Amino acid sequence: MENLVMLPGPTNVSDRVMNAMLTRMINHRSDDFRALYKSIIEKTQMVFQTMNDIVVLSSSGTGAVEASVVNLIRRKDKVVIPVNGEFGTRLADLIDSWGGETIRVNSPYGQNPDYSEFEEAFDKNKDIKALYAVYNETSTGTTLRYLDKLSQLCSERGVFFVVDAVSILGGDELPVDKWNVDICVTTSQKALAAPPGVSPISISARAKKYMLENPPPTQYFNLKRYFKYFEANFETPFTPALPLFNAYNEALALVLEEGLDKRIERHKACAEAFYAGLSSMGFSPFARDNARSNLVIAVNYRQGMNDKTFRDLLSQQFRVLVAGGFGNLKGKVFRIGSMGEVNKYHVMRTLSSIASVMNILGLEVNSEYNSIALKRLHGIV
Ligand SMILES: Cc1ncc(COP(=O)(O)O)c(C=O)c1O
Instruction: For residue range 247-303, list pLDDT tens digits in order.
Output: 999 999 999 999 999 999 999 999 999 999 999 999 999 999 999 999 999 999 999
Say yes or no to pLDDT of 380 above 90. Answer: no
Instruction: For residue range 51-65, list pLDDT tens digits in order.
Output: 999 999 999 999 999
C-alpha of residue 250 to centroid of ligand 1, in Å:
22
Tell me the mean pLDDT in the region 182-199.
98
Report the chain's mean pLDDT, rounded to a whole number.
97
C-alpha of residue 200 to centroid of ligand 1, in Å:
13
| CA atoms 87, 183, 53, 29: torsion sign | negative
* Model pLDDT, residue 243: 98
Contacts with 147 (C-beta within 8 Å, 6 or more apart), sequence order: 133, 135, 163, 174, 179
Tell me the mean pLDDT in the region 312-316.
98
Say yes or no to pLDDT of 381 above 80. Answer: no
Which atom of ligand 1 sits closest to the CA of residue 9?
A: 14
Residue nearest to atom 10 of ligand 1 (CA): 61
Which atom of ligand 1 sits closest to the CA of residue 139?
A: 16
CATH entry, 15-258, from 3.40.50.720, 3.40.50.2300, 3.40.640.10, 3.40.50.620: 3.40.640.10
Say yes or no to pLDDT of 379 above 90. Answer: no
Question: What separation, in Å, do the N-terminal and C-terminal C-alpha atoms of the chain show?
Answer: 23
Helices (H), strands (E): how many in the chain?
A: 13, 14
Contact assessment for residue 118 and residue 153, using Cβ atoms and an 8 Å cutoff: yes
pLDDT band at 327 (very low <50, low <70, confident <90, very high): confident
Proportion of the chain above pLDDT 70, given as a percent: 100
Domain boundaries, the chain: 4-8+259-376, 15-258
* Model pLDDT, residue 9: 97
- Taking the C-alpha atoms of residue 59 and residue 50, their distance in angstroms, rounded to an integer, is 22
C-alpha of residue 62 to centroid of ligand 1, in Å:
6
Tell me the mean pLDDT in the region 361-376.
95
C-alpha of residue 61 to centroid of ligand 1, in Å:
5
Contact assessment for residue 287 and residue 110, using Cβ atoms and an 8 Å cutoff: yes
- Taking the C-alpha atoms of residue 93 and residue 320, their distance in angstroms, rounded to an integer, is 34
C-alpha of residue 304 to centroid of ligand 1, in Å:
30
Tell me the mean pLDDT in the region 12-36.
98
- Ligand 1 pocket test: pick from 59, 86, 138 the residue with the most ligand atoms within 8 Å of its Cβ: 138
pLDDT band at 1 (very low <50, low <70, confident <90, very high): confident
Q: Residues near ligand 1 with C-beta < 6 Å?
A: 9, 60-62, 65, 87, 134, 138, 164, 166-167, 187
* Model pLDDT, residue 378: 87
Which atom of ligand 1 sits closest to the CA of residue 65?
A: 4
Instruction: For residue range 212-257, list pLDDT tens digits in order.
Output: 999 999 999 999 999 999 999 999 999 999 999 999 999 999 999 9
C-alpha of residue 166 to centroid of ligand 1, in Å:
6
Which atom of ligand 1 sits closest to the CA of residue 62?
A: 11
Length of the chain as a residue count? 381
0.85 exceeded by pTM: yes
C-alpha of residue 232 to centroid of ligand 1, in Å:
31
**CATH fold for the domain made of 4-8+259-376:** Aspartate Aminotransferase, domain 1 (3.90.1150)
* Model pLDDT, residue 87: 98
* Model pLDDT, residue 203: 99
Residue nearest to atom 7 of ligand 1 (CA): 61
Question: Between helices 260-280 and 369-376, what is the axis angle to 10°?
Answer: 160
Tell me the mean pLDDT in the region 153-163.
98
For the ranges 65-79, 133-147, 341-355, 367-381, the lowest mean pLDDT is seen at 367-381
Q: Is 234 helix (H, G, I), strand (E, B) or coil?
A: coil
Say yes or no to pLDDT of 331 above 80. Answer: yes
